[in-house]
């Protein structure tokens, strides 16, 4: 039963890695798709974690997985920053045209 929790952590890591690969390709539609999949997995994990505890012997593996997810997220943010700036500039320009 505890393997189920680890399966979710691993699936979230895999999805975050796919998101990073998409960001490296500048495929922002795929980034958004992977982010949605990640969000669903996280919610499912939260629900499952209410009824299951992760055994101590798996906690260090969980920690390593979480660190990799955080590193992926940090790199995605760095890659997305120029795109987000361009998007913000376009949005601001449209708002100015409306006034």
CA distance 33 to 19: 8
Q: What is the pLDDT of residues 17-58, one digit of tens each?
A: 999 999 999 998 999 999 999 999 999 999 999 999 998 999
Domain boundaries, the chain: 2-98
Residue 1 has pLDDT above 90, yes or no: no
Q: How many Cα neighbours within 13 Å face the side chain of 27?
A: 11
Q: How many Cα neighbours within 13 Å face the side chain of 92?
A: 6
- What is residue 30's predicted lDDT score, i.e. its pLDDT? 96
Architecture of the domain defined by 2-98 = Up-down Bundle (1.20)
Give per-residue burial for 1-12: e unless 16+ CB within 10 Å, then b: eeeebeebbebb
Helix and strand totals (H; E) in the chain: 3, 0
């Amino acid at each position: 039963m505890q393997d189920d929790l680890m399966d979710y952590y691993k699936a979230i890591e895999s999805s975050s890695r796919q998101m990073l690969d998409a960001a490296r390709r500048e495929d922002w539609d795929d980034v958004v798709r992977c982010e949605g999949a990640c969000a669903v997995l996280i919610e499912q994990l939260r629900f499952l974690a209410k009824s299951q505890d992760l055994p101590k012997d798996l906690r260090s593996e969980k920690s390593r997985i979480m660190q990799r997810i955080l590193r992926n997220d940090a790199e995605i943010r760095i890659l997305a920053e120029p795109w987000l700036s361009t998007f913000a500039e376009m949005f601001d320009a449209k708002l100015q045209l409306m006034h």
